[in-house]
A and B are shown apart, each in its own frame.
Chain A
Amino acid sequence: MNSSLTPQDILDRAEALRPQLSSGFRDEIVKSLYGEVERITRRAVQAGSEHKWDFDQRIDRLVTSPLLGLPIMLLLLAAVFWVTIVGANVPSKMIADALFFIEDQAAALFTQVGLPWWVTGFLWHGVYRGLAWVIAVMLPPMAIFFPIFTILEDLGYLPRVAFNLDWLFKRAGAHGKQSLTMAMGFGCNAAGVIATRVIDSPRERLIAILTNNFVPCNGRFPTLIMLATVFVAASFPPALASFAAAGAVVGVVLVGVFFTLVVSWALSKTVLKGEASAFTLELPPYRRPNIGRILYTSLIDRTIFVLWRAMQTAAPAGALIWVLGNISVGNLSLAQHTANFLNPFGVLLGLDGVIMLAYIIAIPANEIVVPTMMMVYMGVGMMTDMPDLGELRSLLVDGNGWTMLTAVNLMLFSLLHNPCATTIMTIYKETKSYKWAALSVVITLGLAFLVTFSTAAIARFFGGG
């Protein structure tokens, strides 16, 4: 070791040498690198017939064409939702029947053995029922949605989506790869937030993180699908009902994309000022999906993973709901008291106190919003089995004064409201800043209040609501 030399000397020497080099030092290096590589490949690689390329390119010209690219994308999205809605209906009902049958038997057994009512209630009508609800509502749609989504992913369609939407995001001052992270958000917003690591610029990455929640995740789809089926589809003839429901869900997704762009734009004009950076996006060749791997990825990695997470939050939430529903002060349960307290605020947003309560309880996981609502509405001290759709509609409309405004605003609120606890934690971990995690809540919640308040005010002004 040369004792006269220190690390600082080397840095100083580098500083001194740098100005002597042409200003484009990096360009110089990159250029010679490229030259070398070109020389090597020219010698070793012989391009063959361009047959397969032609085919790929012809598909690409279609799915990324300025005219047809977006419509094709929307059609695909609608088709995916339609298959999910239609396909999930029957299995959901079957699973629910089976699981609730077990609950009845077990509860009866517990009572027979002579255990106190609150043990049976807490365990079976509280914790178990919470779990059963989440499995019945979430498992079938996920087991259909995730494999289809994974096929599109494996085929290589996702980068084409990013390509189609690039100009929109650029206009909004955001990164074109944001649409890839949004696609991940369909599965789970926490996963979407982690996926933003593919975005180089910290500014654009933050924008993508803060807006990811405007993509409705898997936990929110059941709410959207239920509302679309009960309210939107019900006003169409039965033959068209499932299409109308799928269309309504696509509509909600589009509203989400709209707000993603608006908020991205607003952020890039204020706290996250800057120009959109250029990037190269490879359009990979279309590849034949590997069926075994798709099933594994979508069912084990995604479906079971998301379901497990949901169950972990549903069990304690089910217990909490049971307690709130079974402890009475006066002749109303705690749940009803809280709902009454929240009601004026809910009404202001075109919703009601029960929905507000459901959203507070569902902060850990959005999946339990609908069951919580049902429980309070039906005035029973446990989360309830979803009755069939006709009954559900009459419970909501006749029993609890729901209107089209309530349904629309609930869809909007579900789309825009704050991220779930897991996503907020993930945002904190990824940004290492309480400030950004808090901002993600403020923006989404503020927007949810503002939008639902406005639609309610407008609807009431025109005599609706």
Chain B
Amino acid sequence: MQKSNSSSPCDTCPASARLEQMGLKLDNFDRVVALAGNPNTGKSTLFNSLTGLKQHTGNWPGKTVTRAEGGYVFNGVRYKLVDLPGTYSLLSASQDEEVARNFILFGQPDCTIVVTDATALERNLNLALQVMEITDKVVVAVNLMDEAIRKGITVDVRSLARDMGVPVIPITARTGEGMQTLLATVGDVISGQILTQPLRVEGTPEVQRAVSELSRQIEQLYPGTPNARWLAIRLLDGDERVQQAILSGEIAALVSDQQRADVSFSKKMAVAGRQ
């Protein structure tokens, strides 16, 4: 496995030289990065500009109904990028939301980029917080900054980052602005150079009590699971997919698997998630 080499001589080259589009050459990759986000926020545009692929983009919600995969190399590390279907939430169970959620949960991406629309942040951040419930390794990309500027909307990304506890990077996927910073941040989050402290929604006291009791039990059963809280909430909500995953041992396998950071499992789940 190749490690990122931060002291490479290329630090002095023009920034764009560090990104290499890999298209569909996915045989060997070191890291898996997922792209999540609301419909119509420019995920596919970002995906295309990073991988050099021509995944169809269109200005209507729900265009990407399956996952698309592509590769890129940044700073010598080979990344597999997975473009998930655009969803408003991870709570309900339509097929596209199911695909997105299964991948973030069971596919165990090394990092998830939540792409948001700078002109409609309030609606978009709902999904970001839900993703942050599942995984710590999150970077929020605030896309369509050019549109926001045209509309006179200002976004204070430092305030967002402080409140949410994860890196927030402003980008314009169409022109490629902010892309280098985004990729560098993703690399730092994966390597642990940036530690995230995702904001977790508390809920009413009675909810908190039930959640903490159940997540304690889950942690007892699966020591080291990173998403015990989320699993507890889903179980309390009666989520059948999660119930199944616990009974079938899928979760157990996942937890024992993740210390090794083995990507073969995520590959298997990626296929299952595609159905």
* A binding-site residues for B, Cβ under 8 Å: 1-2, 5-11, 13-14, 17-18, 20-22, 25-26, 28-30, 32-34, 36-41, 43-53, 150, 153-156, 158-159, 177, 180, 194-195, 197-200, 280-282, 284-285, 287, 290, 293, 296-297, 300-301
Chain A residues whose CB sits within 8 angstroms of the CB of B217 once the complex forms: 5, 9-10, 13
Chain B residues whose CB sits within 8 angstroms of the CB of A293 once the complex forms: 57
Tell me if B126 is interfacial: C-beta within 8 Å of chain A.
Answer: yes
Return the contact of A297 from the options B54, B157, B204 (Cβ within 8 A): B54
Return the contact of B151 from the options A48, A153, A194 (Cβ within 8 A): A48
A432 closest partner in B (C-beta): B275
Instruction: Give residues of chain B (207-247) contacting chain A, Cβ–Cβ below 8 Å.
Output: 207, 210, 213-214, 217-218, 220-221, 223, 232-233, 235-238, 243, 246-247
A297 closest partner in B (C-beta): B56
Q: How far is the CB of A181 from chain B (nearest CB, A)?
A: 9
Number of interface residues of B (CB under 8 A): 68
Could you tell me if A11 and B237 are in contact, using CB atoms closer than 8 angstroms?
no
Could you tell me if A153 and B59 are in contact, using CB atoms closer than 8 angstroms?
yes
Return the contact of A300 from the options B39, B54, B160 (Cβ within 8 A): B54
Chain B residues whose CB sits within 8 angstroms of the CB of A284 once the complex forms: 40, 59-61
Chain B residues whose CB sits within 8 angstroms of the CB of A194 once the complex forms: 65
Could you tell me if B122 and A38 are in contact, using CB atoms closer than 8 angstroms?
yes
**A406–B201 alpha-carbon span in the complex (Å):** 67
Q: How far is the CB of A352 from chain B (nearest CB, A)?
A: 41
Could you tell me if A51 and B206 are in contact, using CB atoms closer than 8 angstroms?
no
Could you tell me if A21 and B62 are in contact, using CB atoms closer than 8 angstroms?
no
**A32–B205 alpha-carbon span in the complex (Å):** 12
Return the contact of B156 from the options A5, A43, A155, A300 (Cβ within 8 A): A43
A21 in contact with B119 given A53-B151, A297-B54 (CB within 8 Å) = no
Could you tell me if B174 and A290 are in contact, using CB atoms closer than 8 angstroms?
yes
Chain B residues whose CB sits within 8 angstroms of the CB of A7 once the complex forms: 221, 246-247, 249, 252
Among B2-10, B11-19, B29-37, B88-96, the one that faces the other chain is B88-96
CB-based closest 6 A-B pairs: A48-B152, A198-B62, A200-B94, A197-B65, A14-B235, A44-B159
Tell me if B58 is interfacial: C-beta within 8 Å of chain A.
Answer: yes
Chain A residues whose CB sits within 8 angstroms of the CB of B160 once the complex forms: 40, 44
Return the contact of A51 from the options B60, B152, B220 (Cβ within 8 A): B152
Could you tell me if A285 and B147 are in contact, using CB atoms closer than 8 angstroms?
yes
Could you tell me if B152 and A26 are in contact, using CB atoms closer than 8 angstroms?
no
Could you tell me if A40 and B164 are in contact, using CB atoms closer than 8 angstroms?
yes
What would 12 more interface pairs be, CB under 8 Å, given A284-B60, A293-B57?
Answer: A2-B220, A30-B91, A33-B129, A41-B121, A43-B156, A51-B151, A52-B151, A153-B59, A180-B60, A195-B62, A197-B62, A297-B54
Q: How far is the CB of A33 from chain B (nearest CB, A)?
A: 5
**A8–B62 alpha-carbon span in the complex (Å):** 37
Could you tell me if A25 and B237 are in contact, using CB atoms closer than 8 angstroms?
yes
Chain B residues whose CB sits within 8 angstroms of the CB of A153 once the complex forms: 58-60
